[in-house]
Amino acid sequence: MSATVTPDLLSLVMRDVKAQNYINGEWVDGDSTFVSTNPANRTHVIGTAPMTSRAQVNEAVKAARAAYTSWRRLSWVQRAEFIDNLAQVLKRDLEEFSVLVTTECGKPYNEGRADVVESLHTAQYVAGFGRLPTGHVLSSEIPAKDAYIL
């Protein structure tokens, strides 16, 4: 995995990103938006994000509760498959996510990349142990991190 920001990767974040809320299986706009800029220079506009209303937050919480009810009915193997799919996307798009995190947070590229790599490793770890019998406390492969499989 390369640690170089190429012009192609940089162009990914030079476009204006429009974020939306994901509520009950649908992408929806907020009542208004705010502009997100790169905190390193305050001039590069990354995109817009929704200002979510109280009603939309309540709707999202209600949908999340309903999703949790169906999620907990899945077997631990099915849950592990979902998390493994997340890990595959993080691995496939590692460089793009790294540039996006770096730009949005205004941090050095290697730190932004390290954040994404840690997320990837955590997803791989959880997916792997999600296929094991539950009820064990296991040490993490990530130094200074605790992991519990319930």
Domain coordinates in residue numbering, the chain = 7-149
The answer to whether 19 and 47 are in contact (CB under 8 A) is yes
Task: Give the global pTM.
Answer: 0.72
Q: Are strands 26-28 and 21-23 parallel, antiparallel or unpaired?
A: antiparallel
DSSP string for 72-85: TTS-HHHHHHHHHH
Q: Model confidence at 17, in pLDDT bands (50, 70, 90)?
A: confident
Give 134-144 pLDDT, tens digit per residue: 555 556 666 76
For residues 57 and 97, what is the distance between their CA atoms, to the nearest angstrom? 26
The answer to whether 148 and 122 are in contact (CB under 8 A) is no
Fold of 7-149: Aldehyde Dehydrogenase; Chain A, domain 1 (3.40.605)
Give 26-66 pLDDT, tens digit per residue: 999 999 998 888 888 888 888 888 999 999 999 999 999 99
| Residue 86: pLDDT over 80 | yes
- Give the pLDDT score at 6: 60
**Residues 72, 123, 85, 94: is their CA dihedral positive or negative?**
positive
From the list 122, 132, 54, 141, the residue with the least C-alpha distance to 149 is 132
> What is the average pLDDT across 125-129?
84
